[in-house]
Amino acid sequence: MSKNNKKKKSTSRAVARSADAPLQFGMKAGILGAAGFACLVAGYALLAQGSITAAPLLLVLGYVVLLPLAISG
């Protein structure tokens, strides 16, 4: 009884991008990015005025929801 000691090649499904390939963002990502940026600006403006309710909500919405959605999609 002999054992087969064949090594399997690992296949990677990741697509390599060249260094000079531009990133392509669609209209949806641009709108989400702009909305996220607007939420951040409004949140920091309200924070400077002393708002303790609306400012943190807008900042969390911008940083945790809108900007990651813009980057991923």
**Structural domains in the chain (count):** 1
Q: pLDDT grade, residue 6 (50/70/90)?
A: low
- Domain membership of residue 54 (yes or no) is yes
> Is the residue at 57 inside a domain?
yes
Residue 70 contacts residue 38 (beta carbons within 8 Å):
no
Residue, of 29 and 12, whose pLDDT is higher: 29
Question: Looking at the predicted structure, is the pLDDT value of residue 63 above 70?
Answer: yes
Domain-located, residue 35: yes
Task: Identify the domain containing residue 57 by its residue range.
Answer: 27-72
Residue at 1 is within a domain? no
The model carries a pTM of 0.68
